[in-house]
Amino acid sequence: MSPQLKSRPLRYSICVSGAAAGVTVKQSYRLAEELGTIIAKSGQILTTGATVGLPYYAAHANKVAGGTSVGFSPAASLREHLRKYRLPYDCYDFVNFTGLHYVGRDLYLVQSSDAVITIGGRFGSLHEFTSALEAGKPCGILIGSGGTADVIPNLMAILEPPHRDLVVYDTDPQKLVDKIIDMIDDKYRDIHEQLMNRDENWFLRLDNQPPHAG
């Protein structure tokens, strides 16, 4: 009989989406570091596009703070990640080599995250934001960080987007992360209640095995 696993709270994957280069990196890299640190201290998992710029500053700070960081690379292998795309590797607990190039990587990253926070950004960050919104993911916008983040409020007012209630804004990284975690908590409230009121390891009991189990 397999031993029972120790129960632990759910951990969420929170994506930090931002520019790899350009003016918003110089403007907002310290805000990105703050986001990475806050996510680490909250006990959640940071996800990024395994790239340079603002996502890298967030991932590096997350690792320094003792957090867990997962990168989603456009490359198909470590060699391609380092040599073709020339992307960092040092601050991730795990790099998922998607082999999907940048556009496909963005979608995979968003779908693998429970929420997306936009800081600064250019067109790639806008793509990740719109993909997250269409997928019904909670989206946090760090107002005052420049670029995409400061354009999104106007786009939301003009374009009549879906899931408007899933987008939250703040100028304070800590308050923004708190809002995002509250939204995910609410989304998974039924799961939290089930884990509190029943044995979460029910699938390990022999009497609950499906008929085809070997």
Number of domains, the chain = 1
The verdict on residue 49 lying in a domain is yes
The verdict on residue 212 lying in a domain is no
The verdict on residue 148 lying in a domain is yes
- Compute the chain's Rg from CA coordinates: 18
Task: Give the CA distances from residue 23 to residues 29, 70, 72, 212, in Å, rounded to whole numbers and listed in that order.
Answer: 10, 25, 24, 57
Q: Beta partners for 116?
A: 15, 139
The answer to whether the beta carbons of residues 15 and 109 sit under 8 Å apart is yes
Q: Is 138 helix (H, G, I), strand (E, B) or coil?
A: coil
Residue with tokens 């310290």: 30
Q: Beta partners for 17?
A: 118
CATH number at residue 155: 3.40.50.450
Tens-level pLDDT at each residue, the chain (214 residues): 445 545 557 899 999 999 999 999 999 999 999 999 999 999 999 999 999 999 999 999 999 999 999 999 999 999 999 999 999 999 999 999 999 999 999 999 999 999 999 999 999 999 999 999 999 999 999 999 999 999 999 999 999 998 999 999 999 999 999 999 999 999 999 887 877 776 556 555 655 555 455 4
The verdict on residue 210 lying in a domain is no
The verdict on residue 46 lying in a domain is yes
The verdict on residue 110 lying in a domain is yes
CB atoms within 10 A of CB 104: 13
**65 exposed, middle or buried (CB, 10 Å; 0-12, 13-18, 19+)?**
middle
The pTM of this model reads 0.90
The verdict on residue 113 lying in a domain is yes
Boundaries of domain holding 170: 13-197
The verdict on residue 202 lying in a domain is no
Amino acid, single-letter form, for residue 200: E
- Cα–Cα distance, 151 to 144 (Å, whole number): 10
